[in-house]
Amino acid sequence: MTERSDPKKRHKRSAWRHPLKPDLVVPYRAAAVVALREMGVSDYAVIAAALSLTVEEVRRIDSADDPSIRRLCVEKIPYGEYFKLDEEIRCPRCNATIKVVPCVACYGPSKLAEESRPR
């Protein structure tokens, strides 16, 4: 008899590795916090609820005291990387309800145009 997982239970995700910087490894939820902050979500309570974290954990991640998180903040989340949220939130740009970050409607096409722009 197998146990079914509780959908409200906080699932542990493994570490996230930056696809362009293989030596840059951070916890999945820390990378998701950085992605939410890059997207313009500034309310720690909203971020905490979306990722099943405490406000204090979000504050600690956002302070970037950890060198790997600080490096991720500088390197940025690359185009095409998305993070699943535990709870839906509103995109601050288009006000759509989203379950992945960054918002596919807003940040997919704009980041693609930014990446493909001639320099």
The pLDDT of residue 14 is 84
The pLDDT of residue 1 is 43
- Verdict on whether the full-model pTM lies above 0.95: no
CA distance 85 to 103: 11
Question: Which amino acid makes up residue 1?
Answer: M
Q: Residue ranges of the chain with pLDDT lower than 70?
A: 1-13, 108-119
CA distance 23 to 10: 27
Parallel, antiparallel, or unpaired for β 97-101 and 83-90?
Answer: antiparallel
